[in-house]
Chain A
Amino acid sequence: MQGRDQIEDVLARMALFADLSRAQLEAVAHTFEEEWFPEGQRILRQGFAGTGFYLVLDGEAAVVIDGQERARLGRGEFFGEISVLLGEPPTADVVAAGPLRCLHLPGPELEGFLTAHPSVSFRMLQAEARRLHTTLGWRS
């Protein structure tokens, strides 16, 4: 069992929310919905519209494209934002690689959330830059 106060503690340790006050963290905890997935459960489905943005609270998620695992995401990492930002269905499945606890923000609410929290947008941009840097590391 995880109380909301504990969720705020987890959020406070995430780089994404490093610049938010305690009250803002509490608002984030009330805005996102906590969800729990058993091992093997698909959270994002390749090619399906209407997905959302997920933050990993506990456990690991596997990124799977056409049946091949490409990456693992752990506590504090997030997924689903690319599909929401581009308005296109995900190009990968994201599957619980064991019991997985996440926070979920519906896709249609992500733009409003990011524009209301510019520091989170900046931190997310940093994370995307890191991912891009890792992916294109051979060029730099």
Chain B
Amino acid sequence: MAELGAYPPGDYPVVVLGTGPGGLQTSYFLAGAGVEHALLSADERPAGMFQRFPFFQRLISWTKPYAPAERGTREYERYDWNSMLAADPGHLALVADFMDGASYFPSRAEMEKGLVSFAERAGIRARYGCRWEATRREGDGFVVETSDGEYRCRALVVAVGMTEPWRPDIPGLDAVPHYVDTEKAKAYAGQRVFIIGKRNSGFELADGLLPWARQLILASPRPARLSVVTHSTAGARARYLQPYEDFILAGGTFVVDAAIDRVERTGAGWRVFAQGTTRPGDMVFEVDRVIAATGFSTPLRDLSELGVATFHQGRLPAQTAFFESASVPGIFFAGSITQGSIGLKKYGRPSSSAAVHGFRYNARVLAGHLVETLFGRATERPPLTPDEVVPFLLAEATRAPELWHQASYLCRVVSFGPDRGIVDEGIQPLAHFVDSAGPDAVAVAVETDAENDTHPAVYVRREARVDEHLLPSDPLNEYEGGEHRSRLAAVLHGWLG
């Protein structure tokens, strides 16, 4: 697996940095398209992050071993949020193979085994133990300086994850252990623990420490958002909600809305000064431990000096719909960093690009984009007959894993050109479809609106203008019946003969 001789320093059309799921998936699709590239990793083997995180062992993304769809099919991807995508059915759905039935959520060891197995079976080569140190422009490309030497490339794909511990600028917080510094749970036995942060990492720690800590206090300025309330992954996930229930049933845990003013050491303990937000007022907490579950940023090294624009307090690079830096063409991103390509964010719902089940599809879209734009190779685009269009689009709306995992973000496109006829243009970023010129075409996506109603959304581009048409929902999410067929056919009037 660890081939020290793989990808020696030199010139490559594309360099991919990182062998987490984002880097592996991108490399897989580039290789499948015959694009020569170097895959480099500072780790000693694939999936390095899962050797340490999430801290309390299990992921928050599930894999359903026995699902309504056959394992190894495209439809099964709906139920398996963790495995890599592949053209060869023997490389699909691998995480399920390693799960022992103890949980709906793979342990990180099971996730790591699934990814390592994918890399081995798919023959993904990488240069491990090769650390990215610096980057500079040269001609119309880039030079990546590494611990092993220099790599020249036309396109750089950065897939190093949002992995750098991040702390807000609060006096005293620099001395506070971050989530990544959390000790074994029993080290907190009988202690009063103050967790700064009420997102998943904060609730994950609280859940893990609930049997050990004397008291838990979670605090941040904004009220906790829960996924079961927001109907999206924007919110603390259900499996970490025991501390929240402990709070609302007065079990001793506190979930407080407060802005932290400063944190001080007090001999063996800590004192936290805060101001209430939902309920105004000064607060002081005397505690034994403080943990900053304040999130992560992207280790972009010197890319900002090259002009890569960032947002989210500098934690994410701003990106185009095709995951290219919005300010430095030629630098692309893969993996969880692609959440910086925000898309339409309809009704405020983010993409799933922060997680494997979202960004694995981004990687396939990115690889296809690089193949076409950098190497001028046309992707196969199957023709459709007029009779096939409506059933095809409604089947995609009902079952396509890309449209369900990346709702309102990725779409299926069919074009109606005067020369090429009716063509399946594949899966594309919705933001690209609605904001770019192109031939007359239709795109179908799935969306959940403000009333939590999930339905197909159809975007029709005629003579460069794009209009939105929302189709009805269905209690079982089946969109292939007569009403949907007639409504979609009406939207496509004039194109189906």
Give the interface of A toward B (CB within 8 A).
1-5, 7, 21-24, 26-27, 29-31, 33-38, 41-42, 45, 47-52, 89, 99, 101, 104-109, 116
User: Are A107 and B348 in contact, with the CB atoms below 8 A?
Assistant: yes
- Residues of the B chain whose Cβ atoms lie less than 8 Å from the Cβ of A23: 221, 258-259, 275-277, 280
Q: A47-B468, A49-B468, A50-B447 are in contact. Are A3 and B259 (CB under 8 A)?
A: no
User: Are B221 and A108 in contact, with the CB atoms below 8 A?
Assistant: no
Q: A49-B470, A50-B447, A99-B309 are in contact. Are A21 and B314 (CB under 8 A)?
A: no
- Residues of the A chain whose Cβ atoms lie less than 8 Å from the Cβ of B435: 41-42, 45
Q: Judge if B320 is at the interface, Cβ distance under 8 Å.
A: yes
Alpha-carbon distance between A47 and B470 when the two chains are bound, in angstroms: 12
User: Are A35 and B221 in contact, with the CB atoms below 8 A?
Assistant: no
* B451 closest partner in A (C-beta): A108
User: What's the count of A-B pairs with C-beta under 8 Å?
Assistant: 109
- Partner among A27, A41, A89 whose Cβ is within 8 Å of the Cβ of B222: A27
- Residues of the A chain whose Cβ atoms lie less than 8 Å from the Cβ of B301: none
Q: Hey, what's the 0/1 contact readout for B437-463 against A, CB within 8 Å counting as 1?
A: 000000000010110000000000000
Alpha-carbon distance between A89 and B346 when the two chains are bound, in angstroms: 11
Q: Hey, what's the 0/1 contact readout for B343-360 against A, CB within 8 Å counting as 1?
A: 011111100000000000
Main secondary structure of the interface of B (DSSP, over half): loop
Q: Judge if B313 is at the interface, Cβ distance under 8 Å.
A: yes
Shortest CB–CB separation between residue A3 and chain B, in angstroms? 5
User: Are A50 and B276 in contact, with the CB atoms below 8 A?
Assistant: no
- Residues of the B chain whose Cβ atoms lie less than 8 Å from the Cβ of A3: 168-169, 313-314
Shortest CB–CB separation between residue B126 and chain A, in angstroms? 31
- List the 7 shortest-distance A-B pairs measured between CB atoms, nearest first: A106-B348, A50-B346, A1-B314, A23-B275, A36-B311, A27-B277, A26-B259
Q: Judge if B310 is at the interface, Cβ distance under 8 Å.
A: yes
Q: Judge if B95 is at the interface, Cβ distance under 8 Å.
A: no
* B234 closest partner in A (C-beta): A106
Q: Judge if B493 is at the interface, Cβ distance under 8 Å.
A: no
User: Are A24 and B277 in contact, with the CB atoms below 8 A?
Assistant: yes
* A96 closest partner in B (C-beta): B326
Q: A36-B318, A50-B449 are in contact. Are A27 and B259 (CB under 8 A)?
A: yes
User: Are B222 and A30 in contact, with the CB atoms below 8 A?
Assistant: yes
The CB with the most chain A CB atoms within 10 A, among B278, B320, B348, is that of B348
Q: A26-B221, A30-B220, A35-B311 are in contact. Are A4 and B468 (CB under 8 A)?
A: no
- Residues of the B chain whose Cβ atoms lie less than 8 Å from the Cβ of A26: 221, 259, 277
User: Are A1 and B434 in contact, with the CB atoms below 8 A?
Assistant: no
- Residues of the A chain whose Cβ atoms lie less than 8 Å from the Cβ of B468: 47-49, 89
User: Are B259 and A108 in contact, with the CB atoms below 8 A?
Assistant: no
Alpha-carbon distance between A29 and B344 when the two chains are bound, in angstroms: 21
- Partner among B220, B222, B278, B280 whose Cβ is within 8 Å of the Cβ of A21: B280
28 A-B pairs with CB atoms under 8 Å apart are: A1-B314, A2-B311, A3-B168, A3-B169, A4-B313, A7-B313, A21-B275, A22-B259, A23-B280, A26-B277, A27-B222, A27-B259, A31-B221, A31-B222, A36-B318, A36-B326, A38-B318, A42-B434, A45-B344, A48-B344, A50-B447, A89-B468, A104-B345, A104-B348, A105-B348, A106-B345, A106-B347, A109-B348
